[in-house]
């Protein structure tokens, strides 16, 4: 496994996984901005991740694209690559690298729980596991997202004169919230911040049920009473949010587990909906992967490293530049 | 327990006062034994400290690896929340109501508290666990005052909050008489006189332009407005108690007053720090505030006394329907009879025209009074802030021009506005912050400032933005003290934005040493 370094770089064949800077060959796990960047020569990813990159950065964000189906093999010299569902967002993938009978899995961001907006996580057995640890503390035990979305629906019913603005990351989380609302039979039009429009259209095109949505426009203030509006978290605190009548500020995020965090951010209705694995899912994945060697990327890695060592697994943190920000999910 | 814990959860996340009241009313729309416990918890009337924080940690270490807990606690920063989240067993039992739960815990034998308490924690949901731990460790910190709870109850059951405050300290858990009265099943509970709090008469700010034209100076008397805390002192041969303006019993924080006071009366006055009845400023008083107890050392360093200005009862006689002039005679009589009390009388200012009063308002005693009180001579003692009887006329505030340095977003309604401003004055070629203000500006000025900040940010420190040093704020403040806690060495009392000085260039702003000289700090 010493063929890959702490920056997820395979020097032997000049391949990077999720590099921050433009590179020759980049395997991209998913479309979030801290993983998918502009300007690589050659991008290898799922078709959906490539589509998403093109929506966000333009058709020419890389010189060459190679779409891979889940499970389809791509070889460079004696390295075999396959992508496997990560269950994080639409198109997200884990990367399995096989070389001389050694199996290495880079999970990228992943969640084990069910999600109708993407293909669900598939466990891949391996010798070395490079796992994320965004929620790598035992306090993070995500509740059933259906219960969380019910809180929103109930609040909308009770507070008829307010509008609910839900902060949700523009790619993935926003559409998941919309889909969860539809699963719970909320059939009204959902209003979205302009920055979500293209991605929502793409999800619809990919036959993900996010229902009817419409971009927020300069309508009469009272029009939005009783409505649900979805916006990226940054917009909650921006001048943009001033146009709404008595907004109740909500946030869909795993970080909302901690009340004090929600309070600090001025969130009145926290919804614990995460696209990352919680503590138990991280432990479970580590165990079931049968890997003997665990490398832990961004997040709360200390506790997870400690846990793995106690289980007699070789384990160490990988510090990857530019990835530790809580705002990223 | 489910309902109460979700009430607390919602209260902690709600910035708006009105929403908090609504949440409280939704919960208290039924009045039963669970609500009685809730009321006792919210108003801090009963102690539920069944278990100590250190014990709780022991319990959690039995359940969770110590290092993993410590990593988590370090991240969350709040013991109750960390334990409630990390507690592993999730077999939720049958939901118990608040009263049953507390009564069951009370029954636990000391020797069995570890196992029994663990068992209870395991059967609760996350949020209930958090609530129970908060209750047991004391100090909810959910941003709800006793007064807010009373207001919510009063509005919901069509009573006045004054009426509730009046009887509050005579009420006891489980509040059967209160609840019955709220539901109009009985008349207002009769309370032992000594436990009554008599809601205070409050003053309105005077409108110099309108009021002075309208009001006849001869019908009013004036006193200095002292910068202390308003208190009600209740003294009889059997007991002495001291209440704050909102009816909180603060006797234990001022034992020297309780020990020294003799007589039989209910006195209204101002609590001040000072020796020989010479007040020494609010900064000193602050050392005595927000404490449950006062050590001997503190009592010696910052001795307190009461400057009395009114009397509500004298030897059992209700004087509240008497005129102010008549009450004053009783007050003087009380004072003469009890010379050893730590009480002096607020002196009366003689004046015959409003103009004459101006000089008293602005100059007398310089820093130690905040202005004057103007009281109708034949006014009864009326609870609340009734118009036309008592007025306060504050000194012109102190003013300083300072440069806007940093800004932060506000809370609640203002969360999308940069509305908290830090400003400073020069120290050589740098600026040093002298204060922070989040009020005083008009809505228009706020919009202008918000726009300026968004377009002129030069640095971000978390939520704080540093801006180009271009805007001068005229800051009004009540007072300024030396401070070792601030880089500038000064701390302002109640600074607010008076106006924006578009006309003044930044290099004309004072230096810190000029500032200190002007306000007599050096």
Structure tokens at B383: 């609870």
What three-state secondary structure class fits B376?
A: strand
ipTM of the complex: 0.92
Alpha carbon of residue B67 to chain centroid: 40
The second-level CATH assignment, the architecture, of B398-518 is Beta Barrel (2.40)
Nearest chain B Cα distance for residue A152, angstroms: 13
Average pLDDT over every residue of B212-241: 92
Give B369-389 pLDDT, tens digit per residue.
788 999 999 999 998 888 889
Average pLDDT over every residue of B332-359: 92
Chain B residues with beta carbon closer than 8 angstroms to that of A144 = none
The second-level CATH assignment, the architecture, of A9-139+276-317 is 4-Layer Sandwich (3.60)
pLDDT of residue A319: 67
Task: Write down the CATH number for the domain with range A145-271.
Answer: 3.40.50
Instruction: Check if the beta carbon of residue A148 is closer than 8 Å to that of residue A265.
Output: no
pLDDT of residue B441: 93
- CB-nearest to B67 from A140, A260, A306 is A306
What whole-number distance in Å separates Cα of residue B504 and Cα of residue B179?
A: 61
pLDDT of residue A327: 42
Domain range list for chain A:
9-139+276-317, 145-271
More confident residue, B509 or B521: B509
Residue A140 phi/psi, 5-degree rounding, is -90, 100
What three-state secondary structure class fits A311?
A: coil
Long-range contacts at B313-321 (CB < 8 A, ≥ 24 apart): B313/B265, B313/B266, B314/B264, B314/B265, B315/B264, B315/B265, B316/B193, B316/B264, B319/B381, B320/B198, B320/B380, B320/B381, B320/B382, B321/B380, B321/B381
Q: Give the pLDDT band (50/70/90) at residue B365.
A: low
Give B203-225 pLDDT, tens digit per residue.
999 998 899 999 999 999 999 99
Structure tokens at A110: 């992943």
pLDDT of residue A1: 61
Average pLDDT over every residue of A108-130: 97
pLDDT of residue B413: 67
What whole-number distance in Å separates Cα of residue B294 and Cα of residue B242?
A: 14
Assessment of whether the complete model's pTM goes beyond 0.80: no
Cβ contact A300–B75 (<8 Å):
yes
- CB-nearest to B416 from A242, A300, A307 is A242
Class of the CATH domain delimited by B204-394 = alpha beta
Cβ contact B12–A263 (<8 Å):
yes
B77 at the A interface (CB within 8 A)? yes
Instruction: Check if the beta carbon of residue B82 is closer than 8 Å to that of residue B68.
Output: no
pLDDT of residue B95: 78
- Residue whose C-alpha is closest to residue B400's, from B480, B505, B467, B466: B480
- Residue whose C-alpha is closest to residue A237's, from B12, B10, B75, B419: B419
* B42 upstream amide cis, omega within 30 of 0: no
Instruction: Check if the beta carbon of residue B255 is closer than 8 Å to that of residue B294.
Output: yes
Give A220-229 pLDDT, tens digit per residue.
778 999 999 9
Give A82-93 pLDDT, tens digit per residue.
999 999 999 999
B409 at the A interface (CB within 8 A)? yes
User: Is pLDDT above 50 for A326?
Assistant: no
Task: Name the DSSP class of B201.
Answer: B
User: Is pLDDT above 50 for A329?
Assistant: no
Which residue of chain B comes nearest to A302, CA vs CA? Answer: B71
Give B297-335 pLDDT, tens digit per residue.
999 999 999 999 999 999 989 999 999 999 999 999 999
Nearest chain B Cα distance for residue A212, angstroms: 28
Cβ contact B85–A258 (<8 Å):
yes
Chain B residues with beta carbon closer than 8 angstroms to that of A307 = 65, 68
Give B36-79 pLDDT, tens digit per residue.
999 999 987 777 888 888 889 999 999 999 999 999 998 888 89
Domain range list for chain B:
204-394, 398-518
What whole-number distance in Å separates Cα of residue B130 and Cα of residue B140?
A: 10
User: Is pLDDT above 60 for A324?
Assistant: no
Long-range contacts at A150-157 (CB < 8 A, ≥ 24 apart): A150/A184, A151/A269, A151/A271, A152/A181, A152/A228, A152/A250, A152/A269, A152/A271, A153/A181, A153/A184, A153/A186, A155/A248, A155/A250, A155/A269, A156/A186, A156/A226, A156/A228
pLDDT of residue A320: 65
- With a CB-CB cutoff of 8 Å, which residues 449-478 of chain B face chain A? 450, 454
Ranges A158-172, B185-199, B225-239, B417-431: which has the least confidence:
B185-199
What three-state secondary structure class fits B283?
A: helix
Instruction: Check if the beta carbon of residue A111 is closer than 8 Å to that of residue A133.
Output: no
Which residue of chain B comes nearest to A305, CA vs CA? Answer: B68
Nearest chain A Cα distance for residue B406, angstroms: 17
Give B155-184 pLDDT, tens digit per residue.
999 999 988 988 888 888 999 999 999 999
Residues near A33 by beta carbon (within 8 Å), at least 6 away in sequence: A56, A328
pLDDT of residue A318: 83
Give A122-180 pLDDT, tens digit per residue.
999 999 999 999 999 999 999 999 999 999 999 999 999 999 999 999 999 999 999 99
């Amino acid at each position: 496994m010493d063929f890959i370094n702490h920056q997820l770089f395979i020097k032997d064949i000049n391949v990077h996984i999720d590099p921050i800077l433009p590179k020759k060959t980049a395997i991209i796990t998913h479309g979030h901005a801290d993983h998918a960047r502009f300007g690589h020569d050659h991008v290898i990813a799922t078709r959906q991740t490539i589509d998403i990159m093109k929506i966000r950065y333009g058709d020419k964000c890389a010189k060459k694209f190679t779409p891979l189906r889940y499970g389809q093999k791509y070889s460079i010299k004696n390295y075999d690559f396959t992508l496997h569902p990560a269950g994080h967002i639409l198109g997200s993938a884990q990367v399995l690298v096989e070389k001389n009978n050694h199996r290495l899995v880079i999970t990228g961001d992943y969640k084990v729980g069910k999600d109708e907006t993407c293909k669900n996580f598939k466990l891949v057995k391996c010798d070395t596991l490079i796992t994320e640890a965004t929620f790598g503390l035992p306090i993070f035990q995500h509740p059933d997202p259906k219960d969380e979305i019910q809180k929103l629906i109930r609040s909308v019913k009770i507070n008829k004169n307010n509008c609910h603005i839900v902060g949700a990351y523009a790619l993935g989380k926003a559409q998941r919230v919309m889909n969860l609302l539809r699963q719970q039979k909320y059939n009204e039009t959902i209003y979205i911040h302009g920055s979500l429009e293209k991605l929502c259209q793409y999800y619809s095109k990919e036959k993900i049920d996010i229902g009817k949505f419409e971009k927020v426009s300069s309508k009469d203030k009272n029009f939005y009473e009783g409505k649900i509006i979805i916006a990226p978290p940054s917009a909650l605190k921006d001048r943009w949010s001033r146009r709404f009548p008595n907004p109740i500020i909500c946030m869909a995020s795993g970080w909302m587990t901690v009340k004090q965090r929600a309070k600090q951010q001025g969130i009145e209705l926290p919804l614990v909906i995460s696209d990352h694995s919680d503590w138990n899912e991280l432990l479970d994945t580590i165990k079931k992967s049968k890997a003997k060697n665990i490398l832990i990327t961004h997040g709360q890695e200390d506790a997870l490293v400690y846990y793995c060592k106690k289980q007699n697994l070789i384990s160490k943190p990988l510090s990857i530049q530019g990835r530790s920000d809580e705002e990223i999910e | 327990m489910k309902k109460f814990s979700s009430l607390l959860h919602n209260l902690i996340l709600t910035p708006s006062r009105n929403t908090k009241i609504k949440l409280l009313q939704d919960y208290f729309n039924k009045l039963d034994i669970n609500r009685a416990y809730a009321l006792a918890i919210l108003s801090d009337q009963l102690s539920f400290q069944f278990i100590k924080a250190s014990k709780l940690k022991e319990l959690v270490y039995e359940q969770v690896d110590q290092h993993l807990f410590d990593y988590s606690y370090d991240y969350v920063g709040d013991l109750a929340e960390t334990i409630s989240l990390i507690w592993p067993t999730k077999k939720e039992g049958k939901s118990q109501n608040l009263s049953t739960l507390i009564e069951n815990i009370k029954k636990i034998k000391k020797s069995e508290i570890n196992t029994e308490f663990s068992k209870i924690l395991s059967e609760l949901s996350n949020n209930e666990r958090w609530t129970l731990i908060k209750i047991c460790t004391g100090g909810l910190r959910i941003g709800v005052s006793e007064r807010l709870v009373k207001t919510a109850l009063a509005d919901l059951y069509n009573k006045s909050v004054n009426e509730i405050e009046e009887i509050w300290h005579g009420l006891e858990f489980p509040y059967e008489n209160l609840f019955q009265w709220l539901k109009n099943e009985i008349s207002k509970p009769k309370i032992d006189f000594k436990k009554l709090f008599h809601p205070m008469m409050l003053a309105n700010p005077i409108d110099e332009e309108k009021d002075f034209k309208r009001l006849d100076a001869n019908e009013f008397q004036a006193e200095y407005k002292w910068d202390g805390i308003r208190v009600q002192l209740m003294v009889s041969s059997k007991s002495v108690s001291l209440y704050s303006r909102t009816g909180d019993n603060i006797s234990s924080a001022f034992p020297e007053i309780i020990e020294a006071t003799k007589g039989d009366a209910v006195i209204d006055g101002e609590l001040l720090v000072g020796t020989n009845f010479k007040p020494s400023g609010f900064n000193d008083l602050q050392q005595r505030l927000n404490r449950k107890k006062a050590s001997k050392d503190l009592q010696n360093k910052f001795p307190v006394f009461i400057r009395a200005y009114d009397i509500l009862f004298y030897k059992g006689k209700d004087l509240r329907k008497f005129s102010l002039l008549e009450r004053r005679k009783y007050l003087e009589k009380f004072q003469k009879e009890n010379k050893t009390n730590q009480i002096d009388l607020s002196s009366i200012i003689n004046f015959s025209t409003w103009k004459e009063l101006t000089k008293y308002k602005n100059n007398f005693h310089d820093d130690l009074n905040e202005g004057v009180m103007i009281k109708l001579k034949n006014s009864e003692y009326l609870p609340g802030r009734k118009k036309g009887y008592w007025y306060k006329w504050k000194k012109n505030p102190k003013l300083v021009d300072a440069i806007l340095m940093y800004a932060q977003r506000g809370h609640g309604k203002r969360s999308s506005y940069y509305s908290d401003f830090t400003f400073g004055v020069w120290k050589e070629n740098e600026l040093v912050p002298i204060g922070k203000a989040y009020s005083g500006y008009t809505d228009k000025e706020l919009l202008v400032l918000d726009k300026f900040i968004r377009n002129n940010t030069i640095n971000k420190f978390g939520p704080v933005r540093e801006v180009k040093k271009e805007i001068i704020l005229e800051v009004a403040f009540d007072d300024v003290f030396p401070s070792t806690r601030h880089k500038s060495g000064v701390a302002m009392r109640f600074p607010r934005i008076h106006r924006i000085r578009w006309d003044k260039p930044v290099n004309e702003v004072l230096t810190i040493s000029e500032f200190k000289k002007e306000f007599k700090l050096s």
